[in-house]
Structure 1
Amino acid sequence: MKKILVVLTNTIRYHGTQQATGLWLGEATEFVDEVTNANFAVDYVSPKGGFVPLDPRSFKYTDKSTMDIYASSDFQQRALTNSLKPEQINPQDYSAIYYTGGHGVMWDFPTDPKLQEITRKIYQQGGLVTSVCHGIAGLLNVKDDNGKYLIAGKNITGFTTAEEILAGKRKVVPFLNENVAKLHGANFQKKRAYKEFAIQDDQLITGQNPFSARAVAKLVIQNLD
């Protein structure tokens, strides 16, 4: 059975504030729902391992499958309580890596060297490198063996500047994903704010916003079947 590594954040608040953030629940559960129903296995990793906080706002956008997965002991234990540490991961075990979002990832995904190395190795062995929404932050600084940004020259998407403004978080995030993606040579694609949109360029599959997790999953399934 092929396995997919799902990456989650450990960040519990917007830095410099007492405002809670964390994983956007549906960006994990909707993806997991699709790929597990297609008979793929998943493991969960976070920069520090262990506890993964949830963005409380994400509960406004849950469906039955999300709540069923959230209620499961497997998700509670393996994703939210005892997520794996990067050093516990053998990249050779995985056919794809998927970076979830939630604003928390903006602080712990972009500069984590261990996650970057896992991503690079999965890519080098022909695996898929994927993300949704703010999860693109985990791909922004990944480089290949030649020191070139993995996203350079690639068509990708992620949470847009317009969406960040509409979310009311423009002034509290440490950077804008769209700006950094372009700075690192990506061809950043986007559709109307909060409209489902996922795009593939070779081994990279990315989704624009929280409503794009299932679309990313479906592209992953098509490529791994």
Structure 2
Amino acid sequence: MTKALIVVTNNPKFEKLYKATGIWLQEVAHFNKVMQDNDIDVDYVSPQGGYVPIDPLSLAPDAMDPVDWEFYLDNDFRNQHLAKSLSPQEIQPTDYQVVYFAGGHGAMTDFPENKELASIALTIYNNDGIIAANCIGVSALLAIKLVDGHRFVNGRKLTSFTNDEEALNGLTNDVKFLPEDELKKAGAHFEKEEAFKSHVVVDGRLITGQNANSATAVGEAVIKGLLK
């Protein structure tokens, strides 16, 4: 049975601001929906396990679509996946063929230096699995290092939330770092399209999306990758 591991943040607050954050619901719901429609089971893991906050801005009326509402109103999603996410210690990487790092500004704090999540992802990848990530969730890839010490992203084509998009959010000076800058520094070949337009980059078994609107396309690219 094919299984996907969705990685989500525990962080409810911007590091520099008294401003609530968490997962961006669309990024989780839309990817999960693609997995669900293709009969792929999912588990949720977070850096600490347990409660997963939702960025309140992602629940705004103009941000929610039918898929978002489907998951937001689903008892299992709220009371199990988000309220009782698994911890890294509970994960057996060989059980999964896909790992997906979901974004939201919360991920900027507890993904980029998390060695446990990095180890899980690399094990899945080394077992011929797929690493997928979206938006700020792509920053989790910064923590993955190969046996020879090189960064996993070095020399790879990818995308993430862009400097332009963060500037349009008005948060350039308030976030911990800019994912686009850090991924480039780590040697990635960064690609981007128009701000907030769905954009996915596939580099073998590495699949990345630029922003929240890319989550469905990332999921669809994962399905294509599994069928190869």
TM interval, shorter chain, is over 0.9
Match of 2:171 in 1: 169
Match of 1:188 in 2: 190
Segments of structure 2 that go 5 or more residues without pairing to the other structure are none
Segments of structure 1 that go 5 or more residues without pairing to the other structure are none
Match of 1:211 in 2: 213
Q: Deviations over 1:126-154 (max 9, x none)?
A: 11011010001111221111111111111
Match of 1:27 in 2: 27
Match of 1:62 in 2: 64
C-alpha separation in 2, matches of 1:83 and 1:75:
10
C-alpha separation in 1, matches of 2:69 and 2:225:
27
Whether the aligned pair in 2 keeps the contact of 1:156 and 1:206 (CA below 8 Å) is yes
Whether the aligned pair in 1 keeps the contact of 2:205 and 2:225 (CA below 8 Å) is no
Residue correspondence of structure 1 range 7-156 to structure 2 within 5 A: 7-60=7-60, 61-156=63-158
Residue type of the alignment partner of 1:142: I
Runs of 4+ in 1 over 6 A off after TM superposition: none
Q: TM-score, normalised on structure 1?
A: 0.98
Match of 2:199 among 197, 210, 224: 197
CA-based RMSD: 0.8
Report the alpha carbon displacement of residue 17 of structure 1 after superposing the two structures with TM. Answer: 2.2
Aligned-pair identity (%): 40
SS at match of 1:31: helix
Report the alpha carbon displacement of residue 96 of structure 1 after superposing the two structures with TM. Answer: 0.8
SS at match of 1:15: coil
Q: TM-score, normalised on structure 2?
A: 0.97
Whether the aligned pair in 2 keeps the contact of 1:156 and 1:186 (CA below 8 Å) is yes
SS at match of 1:43: strand
Whether the aligned pair in 1 keeps the contact of 2:103 and 2:136 (CA below 8 Å) is yes
Q: Deviations over 1:21-72 (max 9, x none)?
A: 0000010000001111111010000000000001011113111121111211
Whether the aligned pair in 1 keeps the contact of 2:114 and 2:143 (CA below 8 Å) is no
C-alpha separation in 1, matches of 2:185 and 2:17:
28
C-alpha separation in 1, matches of 2:3 and 2:147:
24
Residue type of the alignment partner of 2:10: N
Residue type of the alignment partner of 1:64: P
SS at match of 2:103: coil
Match of 2:3 in 1: 3
